[in-house]
Amino acid sequence: MQHTINPEAHGPRGAAMADAVSACVHCGFCLSACPTYSVLGEEMDSPRGRIYLMKSVLEGDLAATDAQPYIDRCLGCMGCEPACPSGVAYGDLLTSYRALQEETRQRPLIDSVTRRMIVETLPYPKRFRAAAKLGRLGKLMQAALPDQLGAMLGLLPDQLPAPVHLPAKIPAKGQRRARVALLTGCVQTVLAPQINQATVDVLTANGVEVVIPQNQGCCGSIMSHIGETQRAQRLAAHNLQAFPTDVDAIITNAAGCGSGMHEYGLLFKGTAQEAAATHFAQQVQDVTVFLAALGLRAMPATQPARRVAYHDACHLAHAQGVTDPPRALLNSIPNLTLVELDNDLCCGSAGTYNLEQPEIAAELGQRKAQSIIETNADMVVMGNIGCFTQVETHLARLQADVSVLHTIELLARAYQ
């Protein structure tokens, strides 16, 4: 392929960036799929505009600082990828570009403090739990804080749920049909530990033995998506060792983690761990994909009537192409009516985006909550902890009486 960028000049991921840039034919089909273009209406806040900006920087025609605000405002939601008829690998370009820029980037003090808090707390459940408890006290002075810190506190729940401890192995119920290892995650174990419990309950009810590596840690996806490559590699390398290889799948119930783990080959590109990381990535499956392929055992026929809206998490629908399996599982619950949202744009959560770009995130969160309310659903379900927190926050702000559940939680209820 003809490169317009010298790939060798930009490290092991240079070729991935050059390929993505050269595949873009500037047709603009991606514009309507882009949430920031929809909110801001600026060409440079669209996928096409950002590709042009990154190309110009990589070719040495534009200072990185001039492009930075537009690249920072990108959610990394990947809404543009399935919309692109030319198959531009925008995610590979964005993640690699952010990693490259992070090596030399200077930030204003408040941005540095926010980022430091993110990278030092989110991937570590004990630190995050302690920070969340402190943050609840900080809510008292939220109005006096800078926007980013105020947004961070605003997303914290008033009460943290009690931790859930899962043992190293949970046997299948009935005849064993498969054996999997479960990524329990970092933020999710603190904010919503019931999601992992529900995942175990549904898997074991369907004849799946679940292994929980006790020394596992954060998968590194959040760090990878914000350009903190070395931190991401360290975290991911730990899990490459911690997870067994003799399982049928490595299961995740968080879309952001799943998409990040599927990119391990790119994360470790050019390193001694590239082959092991690529193999690990091939074993990763979202829990809904795994269960839909396995086939659900029958659940009790007597179920309450439920009107359920399904929100496509970007890192599940766009980054992993997973849209049908969760819907198929939900449709298998007796007496459930599944309704679709008009708004399929990102909810504004996008990893740490709602902390780093709170105004755009809030606008998108409000639009998403409004579209959920318009379906008259009793509950909305989704497959990502980040969306979960964002949607719950914005539904509460609009005083909507709509429950927010992870897809697997609703399935677990249906089996009770």
Q: Which residues would be at the binding site for ligand SF4 (CB under 6 A)?
A: 24-30, 33-36, 47-48, 50-51, 74-80, 84, 86, 88, 90
Q: Which is nearer to ligand SF4, 75 or 257 (CB)?
A: 75
Q: How far is the CB of 267 from ligand SF4 (least distance, A)?
A: 18
Q: How far is the CB of 350 from ligand SF4 (least distance, A)?
A: 8
Q: How far is the CB of 102 from ligand SF4 (least distance, A)?
A: 17
Nearest-CA neighbor of 78 among 48, 47, 102? 47
Q: Which is nearer to ligand SF4, 30 or 404 (CB)?
A: 30
Q: Which is nearer to ligand SF4, 292 or 350 (CB)?
A: 350
Q: Which is nearer to ligand SF4, 88 or 200 (CB)?
A: 88
Q: Which is nearer to ligand SF4, 75 or 267 (CB)?
A: 75
Q: How far is the CB of 275 from ligand SF4 (least distance, A)?
A: 29
Distance of CA 172 to the CA centre of its chain: 28
Q: In this structure, are residues 171 and 204 in contact, taking their beta carbons and an 8 Å threshold?
A: yes
Q: How far is the CB of 110 from ligand SF4 (least distance, A)?
A: 23
Q: How far apart are CA 400 and CA 407, in angstroms?
A: 20
Q: Which is nearer to ligand SF4, 251 or 347 (CB)?
A: 347
Q: Which is nearer to ligand SF4, 47 or 383 (CB)?
A: 47
Q: How far is the CB of 2 from ligand SF4 (least distance, A)?
A: 15
The amino acid present at 60, given as its one-letter code, is G
Q: How far is the CB of 345 from ligand SF4 (least distance, A)?
A: 8
Q: Which is nearer to ligand SF4, 90 or 243 (CB)?
A: 90
Q: How far apart are CA 217 and CA 211, in angstroms?
A: 14
Query: What's the order of all strands across the beta sheet hosting 379-382?
Result: 336-340, 306-310, 379-382, 403-406
Residue 222, phi then psi, degrees to nearest 5: -60, -45
Q: How far is the CB of 204 from ligand SF4 (least distance, A)?
A: 36
